[in-house]
Amino acid sequence: KQEVTQIPAALSVPEGENLVLNCSFTDSAIYNLQWFRQDPGKGLTSLLLIQSSQREQTSGRLNASLDKSSGRSTLYIAASQPGDSATYLCALNKAAGNKLTFGGGTRVLVKP
C-alpha cells in the first residue's frame, strides 16, 4: 500500500527566503506526482504535475523534482512572499485515471 509522507508538517520562514518542501513515498511504481496548494477552508489549486518519465517541472518561482528510485519529490519556492502562506500537498497515482494518494501536507507561513 502506497504511503506518502510530507516533512515538516509546518514551516515558518521570513519573507525572501527560499522554501524547500519534501514529499516521500514508499512505492516507486507511480504514474504522476502532483503538487497542490490549499488556502484555509478552500479547495485545491494545482501547482505542478510531474509525469513518471520526468525529473522536474518548473513554473515561475516554483520548481518540483522527482526521484522515483529514492521515493522523493521536492518542491522549491524561490524568494518566498507572504502570499505563499498556505498548505502544500503532494499527491500521486499508480496509473492513468486512478485515485490520488495524498501526503499529510506542509503548512507554510511566510512572515513579512
Partner 1 sequence: SAVISQKPSRDICQRGTSLTIQCQVDSQVTMMFWYRQQPGQSLTLIATANQGSEATYESGFVIDKFPISRPNLTFSTLTVSNMSPEDSSIYLCSVAPRQGYGYTFGSGTRLTVV
What is the per-residue DSSP string for 19-38?
A: EEEEEEES----SEEEEEEE
Written as nine digits, the cell of 46 is 494545482
Closest to partner 1 by CB, 26 or 46: 46
Residue 71 CB, nearest approach to partner 1 (Å): 18
Main-chain phi, psi angles of 82, to 5 degrees: -55, -30
Q: Measured from the CB of residue 61, what is the shortest distance to partner 1 in angstroms?
A: 18
Nearer to partner 1, 76 or 102 (CB): 102
Q: Which residues bind partner 1 (CB under 8 A)?
A: 32, 34, 36, 41-44, 46, 48-49, 51, 89, 91, 96-100, 102-105
Give the cell for residue 33. 506526482
